[in-house]
Amino acid sequence: MEPGDDAPSTIRGTEAEALANVAAVLRLCQAGKLSCSAATHRPSAATVRAVTDVLVAGDFYPDDAIAAFAWPLLLQAGGLAKLDGTRLVLTPRGRSALGQPTADVVRAIWERWPRHAPIDEFSRVEQIKGQKAAAALSAAGPRRAAAVAALAHCPPGEWIGVDALFSLLRRTESRLTIARSERGLWKLYIVDPEYGSLGYDRYDFPVLEGRYVLAVLFEYAATLGLVDVEYVPPAHARDDFRDMWGADWVDALSRYDGLQAVRLTPLGAYAAGLAPTYVPAAPAVPDRGLQVLANFDVVAVADLPPGDRLVLDAFATRTADRVWTLSTASLLSAINQGRAPGDRSASGRRDAAGRRADPGRTGPRPGPAPGRRVRRRAAGNPAGAGPDAAGPVHPGGRAAPADRSGRRGQGPGRSAETRLSAGRWVPLSRGAPPPSCLALRSQADVVGEPVGLRRSRLG
Identify whether the C-beta of residue 157 lies closer than 8 Å to the C-beta of residue 263: yes
Q: Torsion-angle region of residue 436: left (phi > 0), alpha (psi -120 to 50) or beta? A: beta
Cα 214 to Cα 235: distance, rounded to the nearest angstrom: 15
Q: For residue 160, what is the enclosing H or E element?
A: strand 159-161
**Do residues 15 and 122 both lie within one domain?**
yes
Model confidence over 306-330: pLDDT tens digits?
667 667 777 788 777 667 787 877 7
In a domain? residue 332:
no
**pLDDT tens digits, 351-365:** 333 334 333 333 344
Q: Would residue 357 count as lying in a domain?
A: no
d(CA 352, CA 314): 28
Q: Which domain holds residue 311?
A: 290-326
Does a structural domain hold residue 354? no
**Residue pair 297/267 in contact by the 8 Å Cβ criterion:** no
The pLDDT, as a whole number, for residue 116 is: 95
User: Phi/psi zone of residue 312: left (φ > 0), alpha (ψ -120 to 50 degrees), beta?
Assistant: alpha
In this structure, the answer to whether residues 262 and 322 fall within a common structural domain is: no
> Is 416 inside any structural domain?
yes
Same-domain pairing of 296 and 401: no
Of 121, 43, 124, 125, which Cα lies nearest the Cα of 76?
43
The answer to whether 399 touches 381, Cβ cutoff 8 Å, is no
**Stretch 138-162: mean pLDDT, rounded?**
92
> How sure is the predictor about 412, in pLDDT bands with cuts at 50, 70 and 90?
very low
- Looking at per-residue pLDDT, the higher value among 413 and 123 belongs to 123
Q: Give the chain's domain count.
A: 3
Are residues 134 and 60 located together in one domain of the fold?
A: yes
pLDDT value, residue 292: 75
261 and 298 inside one domain: no
- By percentage, how much of the chain surpasses pLDDT 70? 66
Q: Grade residue 377 by pLDDT with cuts at 50, 70 and 90.
A: very low
Is residue 83 domain-shared with residue 155, that is, in the same domain?
Answer: yes
Distance CA 42, CA 31 (A): 19
Strands (E) located in 51-152 = 81-84, 87-90
* Average confidence (pLDDT) over 75-99: 95
Residues 104 and 209 in one domain: yes
**Of residues 112, 107, 104, 100, the one with CA closest to residue 73:** 112
Concatenated DSSP letters of 342-376: TSTTTT--B-TTS-B--TT--SPPP---HHHHHHH
Calculate the alpha carbon distances from 369 to 191, 395, 420 in Å: 79, 12, 21
Residue 264 phi/psi, 5° resolution?
-65, 130
Q: Is the pTM of this model over 0.85?
A: no
Between 91-105, 241-255, 269-283, 428-442, the lowest mean confidence (pLDDT) is in 428-442
Q: pLDDT tens-digit profile of 220-246?
A: 999 999 999 999 999 999 999 888 888
Q: What is the Cα–Cα distance from 242 to 26, expressed in whole angstroms?
A: 42
Any domain includes 15: yes
Does the residue 93 lie in any domain? yes
pLDDT, position 296: 72
* Same domain for 206 and 59: yes
Last residue of a domain, one of 241, 271, 301: 271
Examine the pLDDT at 391 and tell me if it is beyond 50. Answer: no
172 in a structural domain: yes
- Kindly state whether residues 125 and 266 are assigned to the same domain: yes
Beta carbons of 86 and 258 less than 8 angstroms apart: no
Give the C-alpha distances (Å, rounded to integers) separating 336 from 344, 357, 450.
18, 22, 9
Residues in the chain: 459
Structure confidence by residue, pLDDT tens digits, 44-53: 999 999 999 9
pLDDT-derived band at 2 (thresholds 50, 70, 90) equals very low
Is residue 338 domain-resident? no
Same structural domain, 257 and 152: yes
Quote the CA–CA distance of 146 and 142 in Å, as a whole number. 6
Q: State pLDDT tens for residues 63-80.
A: 999 999 999 999 999 999
Once rounded to an integer, what is the mean pLDDT over residues 116-121? 96
Decide: residue 229, CB within 10 A, 0-12 exposed, 13-18 middle, 19+ buried: buried
Shared-domain flag, residues 230 and 304: no
Are 236 and 316 in a shared domain? no
